[in-house]
Amino acid sequence: DADVTQTPRNRITKTGKRIMLECSQTKGHDRMYWYRQDPGLGLRLIYYSFDVKDINKGEISDGYSVSRQAQAKFSLSLESAIPNQTALYFCATSEPGQGKAYGYTFGSGTRLTVV
């Protein structure tokens, strides 16, 4: 099984609908992140959480909310989806420390299309 699992892998939704993207991890990492990727714009940080009781806004949090249900679960919600939220979304984890085991581990991504 993948260390970081994102569901769904692909989703098409209509403008105005509420949608939740889910992320679960088996790394045992405390820190989790949601990134958005648009063509040519690299990865932009939406929200991040350093532990279950900690939630922080990233670069582009407007229009999004998150919930950290447990150490292993971090979900991203779009309360009222709009077409410019069409993008590839990545969840990631990390842990304090240096090296491959502590660095970012990314999920496979969720491709979201808002029509």
Count of helix runs (H) and strand runs (E) in the chain: 0, 11
What distance in Å separates the CA atoms of residue 112 and residue 100, rounded to the nearest whole number? 29
In angstroms, the CA 107 to CA 88 distance is 11
- Nearer to other proteins by Cβ, of 38 and 79: the residue is 38
* Cβ contacts of 87 within 8 Å, gap of 6 or more: 36, 37, 38, 112
- Complex with other proteins: residue 67 or 95, whichever CB lies closer: 95
Stretch that binds other proteins, among 12-20, 52-60, 67-75, 78-86 (CB under 8 A): 52-60
Selected from 18, 108, 113, 115, the binder of other proteins by CB under 8 A is 108
User: Is 58 exposed, middle or buried, given 0-12, 13-18 or 19+ CB atoms closer than 10 A?
Assistant: middle
Q: Is 11 in the site for other proteins (CB under 8 A)?
A: no
Asked if 55 interacts with other proteins (CB under 8 A), we say no
User: What track of x and - describes contact with other proteins for positions 56 through 95 (by CB under 8 A)?
Assistant: x-xx----------------------------x-x-x-x-
Tell me if the bond preceding 8 is cis, omega within 30° of 0: yes
Contacts with other proteins by CB under 8 A lie at: 4, 31, 35, 40-45, 48, 50, 56, 58-59, 88, 90, 92, 94, 96, 98-100, 103-109, 111
